[in-house]
Amino acid sequence: MTDDATSSGWFEDVDPDDLSGARDAIEHGMSESPADWPARAVEAGFADDEDDYYDKLHEATIAATREEVRERERSDDQQLKHSIRAMNDCERTANELAERVAEWAGTRFSDAGTGVEYARELATREPSDPLERRLIALARRVADLTDESAALRRHVEATAPDVAPNLSALAGPVLAARLISLAGGLEALAKKPSGTVQVLGAEDALFAHLQGSAPSPKHGVIYTHEYVSGTDPHERGSAARALAGKLTIAARIDHYSGDRRPELDAELDERIAAIRSRGGQ
């Protein structure tokens, strides 16, 4: 859009009934200064009157927003977020159902066991009556969910390095995906301070601390990283801060440039080694 007197604005050359074209004009148009756009729209024949102009503008902006949201949800980091959440759901549900299978099987079989592996074993049996058929069918659901969780994990491990190469290198693909999921996306993670990244996944403990009923959490989901869990308890806070700091930098590089920076790995290794040396590790 230009700002000369003959310009019709964003609606120039747009069919009033072409919502897609209006959306594109709204997304890509620009003007150097304000103008009486409703009057120009009427003069250009785009709108019947001022109210009609604003109705068309409203429809175009809503359509543009919907399309932007749709494209955002289809982005690689959002697909990774859904993958890791689905993996977690499958794993959690499988474990819960495995407990139900074990409890039920204990009333039917003298050799009943526990856990997912027992459910997988039970799933191979042939039922002797309709009730056992339902129990064994439930055990097969456990096995299927466990297999699906494993398949989703392989998918996350294969795709996370493409979405966030530096974050995946430092955290590992699964933890990287979990951090992206907890933050709501790679861009959201990149914008968070390292102190927030450090406690992602420990929201309940953080809220309890803010209410004065618990100490401040030293780490959230990053505890699963060997550099935190494998460090002396007295130095874990320092290790968590060091790791969170580098993960934050990695997320920002991945989002804003996407190039791989191997020096981050070496810097983190050196920092953790120095921290562990204080604890005699």
Q: How many domains does the chain have?
A: 3
- Same domain? 180 vs 259: yes
Residue 1 lies in a domain: no
pLDDT in tens, 25-69: 777 777 777 788 888 888 888 888 888 888 888 888 887 777 767
Range of the domain at 153: 76-163
- Same domain? 32 vs 89: no
Domain boundary among 73, 99, 116: 73
- Same domain? 230 vs 187: yes
Residue 4 lies in a domain: no
- Same domain? 186 vs 281: yes
pTM here is: 0.75
Reduce the secondary structure of the chain to three states and give it as a string: CCCCCCCCHHHCCCCCCCHHHHHHHHHHCCCCCCCCHHHHHHHCCCCCCHHHHHHHHHHHHHHHHHHHHHHHHCCHHHHHHHHHHHHHHHHHHHHHHHHHHHHHHCCCCCCCCCHHHHHHHHCCCCCCCHHHHHHHHHHHHHHHHHHHHHHHHHHHHHHHHHHCHHHHHHHCHHHHHHHHHHHCCHHHHHCCCHHHHHCCCCHHHHHHHHCCCCCCCCCCHHHHCHHHHCCCHHHHHHHHHHHHHHHHHHHHHHHHCCCCCCHHHHHHHHHHHHHHHHCCC
- Same domain? 182 vs 239: yes
Block means of pLDDT (10 residues each) for the chain, 281 residues, are: 52 77 74 79 84 85 74 80 97 97 95 95 94 96 98 97 97 97 96 95 74 76 96 93 97 95 96 88 66
CATH code for the domain of 252: 1.10.246.90
